[in-house]
């Protein structure tokens, strides 16, 4: 295992040339159109749309829902699995069902597809379970045979970069190896390795050794050595892994061209990526950040609600900074530790809902947040820890579900929290990704079937943004 060290982002940027991508962009558009494939993104929590706009997000994966996605005019659509909140057996069952339905939709519509498993840019999630289940299930249907798996966790907006195969998390101007961050200590999805080759070996239990994994270098990407990268891709077999280094979107674009060229040569790959790759493969253009005029109905004089469930350090710092909001926000603490008392969570939900409704009706914005001290059980049973987390998340989510007054806006902070608010509390079946209110902070437009139809819903990942980003988003909505 290679030793890794923190590096300076500015020094890294200075050493990398920025190539002229005029020809790459033109050829990328031509090959994307020529392939004509549907791009299906399975999102393990709702934050994966944090780079796109104008695309559909289905919150279920029934045969009818998947078929509807394939029949859309747009090339790209998302299926929200929320599998990061699932146990491993549940995750496997869901991905087997999704694979069958994708294969069926592809046959019925006559459309080929590219399948992306969108995971966390800090490497948490059910990996390799999800992609291995998808591979096995799709190969059993006879729909495809996969030559390799592409590992591509780059996410510029969140400061997640990969250099010399080491994945980094940006902290100010410094890039910290992912294995040295709090995310690597996750109770359910923890890991040790920052080098993605070692990480693959670690996560697969040695079935894919680091020495046999292919690496696409920054040097080749910046030098536009597309044919060399195509040769690397076409040489991969037996579902071996390909690590892609990236510091900026130009790296994704050059790789995407090589990827499309490899597909044209008959190769097939599953992708495990963060949020940046679906945007580039789908040809989604940039758009300006959303404003209050885009998001808040001027006739709604009620207060908004911010629901904070995530417990990562970044979220706690952002919550503290929200106290300095230029507009008045009232804070309500939800004590999730009451899960240890019989009926404790139910009583706490009753208390918080009554208090929040009173303030929202009076035109005051509230921030409902879980108690900042983590509740870690005295157990090494990861599944039991996850089940308790889900019970708490269900209770927190129910606060939104029980509101009888429509707030002027809703922000949910944290991946599991925001997914449960969208699917369980707001009962969204199909949403449209509107864009981002701040870099990496996506917004849904809820569908007509939802609890609050046609309402923008801000999905704020727990591990994204600077300390002031939550405050800035709230100030935009309240301004």
Give the model's pLDDT for residue 376.
66
Give the model's pLDDT for residue 14.
78
Cβ-contact 247, 149 below 8 angstroms: no
At 72, list the tokens. Answer: 């859309």
Give the model's pLDDT for residue 85.
84
What's the burial of 265, exposed, middle or buried (CB within 10 Å: 0-12/13-18/19+)? exposed
The rounded distance, in Å, linking the Cα atoms of 389 and 216 is: 38
Give the model's pLDDT for residue 7.
83
Per-residue pLDDT of the chain (479 residues; tens, 9 = 90+): 566 678 888 888 778 888 999 999 999 999 999 999 999 999 998 888 999 999 999 999 999 999 999 999 999 999 999 999 899 999 999 999 999 999 999 999 999 999 999 999 999 999 999 999 999 999 999 889 999 999 999 999 999 999 999 999 998 889 999 999 999 999 889 999 999 999 999 999 999 999 999 999 999 999 999 999 999 999 999 999 999 999 999 999 999 999 999 999 999 999 999 999 999 999 999 999 999 999 998 888 999 999 998 778 888 999 999 999 999 999 999 998 888 888 989 999 999 999 999 999 999 999 999 898 777 666 666 677 777 777 888 899 999 999 999 999 999 998 878 888 999 999 999 999 999 999 999 999 999 999 999 888 999 988 888 999 999 999 999 98
Quote the Cα angle for 280-282-288, to 5°: 65
For residue 397, CA distances in Å to 141, 201, 342 come to: 37, 37, 19
Give the model's pLDDT for residue 171.
87
- Name the pTM for this structure: 0.90
Give the model's pLDDT for residue 446.
92
Give the model's pLDDT for residue 461.
87
Residue 418 backbone dihedrals phi, psi, to 5 degrees: -70, -35
């Amino acid at each position: 295992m290679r030793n890794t060290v923190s590096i300076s982002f500015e020094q890294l940027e200075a050493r990398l040339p920025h190539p002229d991508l005029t020809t790459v962009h033109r050829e990328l558009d031509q090959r994307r159109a020529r392939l004509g494939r549907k791009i299906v993104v399975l999102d393990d929590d709702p934050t994966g749309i944090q780079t796109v706009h104008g695309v559909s997000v289905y919150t279920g994966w029934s045969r009818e829902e998947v078929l509807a996605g394939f029949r859309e005019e747009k090339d790209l659509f998302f299926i929200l699995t929320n599998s990061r909140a699932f146990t491993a057996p549940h995750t496997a069952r869901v991905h087997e069902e999704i694979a069958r339905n994708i294969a069926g939709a592809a046959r019925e519509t006559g459309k080929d597809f590219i399948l992306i498993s969108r995971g966390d840019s800090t490497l948490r999630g059910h990996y390799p379970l999800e992609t291995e289940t998808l591979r096995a299930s799709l190969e059993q249907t006879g729909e495809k045979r996969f030559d390799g798996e592409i590992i591509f966790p780059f996410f510029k907006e969140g400061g997640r970069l990969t250099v010399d195969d080491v994945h980094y998390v940006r902290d100010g101007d410094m890039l910290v190896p992912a294995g040295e961050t709090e995310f690597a200590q996750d109770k359910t999805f923890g890991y040790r390795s920052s080098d993605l080759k070692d990480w693959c070996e670690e996560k697969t239990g040695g079935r894919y050794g680091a020495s046999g994994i292919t690496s696409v270098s920054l040097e080749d990407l910046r030098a536009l050595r597309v044919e060399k990268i195509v040769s690397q891709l076409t040489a991969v077999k037996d579902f071996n892994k390909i690590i892609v280094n990236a510091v900026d979107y130009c790296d994704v674009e050059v790789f995407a061209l090589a990827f499309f060229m490899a597909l044209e040569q008959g190769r097939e790959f599953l992708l495990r990526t963060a949020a940046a790759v679906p945007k580039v493969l789908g040809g989604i253009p940039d758009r300006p950040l959303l404003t209050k005029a885009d998001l808040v109905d001027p006739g709604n004089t009620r207060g908004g609600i911010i629901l904070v469930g995530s417990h990562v350090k970044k979220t706690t710092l952002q919550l503290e900074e929200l106290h300095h909001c230029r507009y008045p926000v009232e804070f309500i603490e939800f004590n999730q530790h009451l899960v240890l008392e019989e009926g404790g969570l139910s009583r706490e939900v009753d208390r918080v809902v009554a208090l929040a409704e009173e303030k929202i009706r009076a035109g005051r914005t509230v921030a409902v947040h879980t108690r900042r001290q983590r509740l870690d059980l005295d157990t090494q049973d990861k599944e039991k820890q996850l089940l308790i987390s889900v019970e708490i998340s269900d209770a927190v989510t129910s606060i939104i579900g029980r509101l009888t007054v429509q707030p002027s806006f809703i922000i949910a902070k944290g991946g599991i929290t925001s997914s449960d608010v969208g699917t369980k509390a707001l009962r969204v079946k199909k949403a449209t990704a509107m864009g981002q209110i701040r870099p990496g902070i996506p917004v849904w437009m809820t569908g007509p079937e939802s609890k609050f139809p046609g309402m923008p819903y801000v999905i704020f990942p727990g591990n994204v943004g600077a300390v002031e980003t939550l405050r800035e988003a709230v100030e935009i909505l309240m301004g």
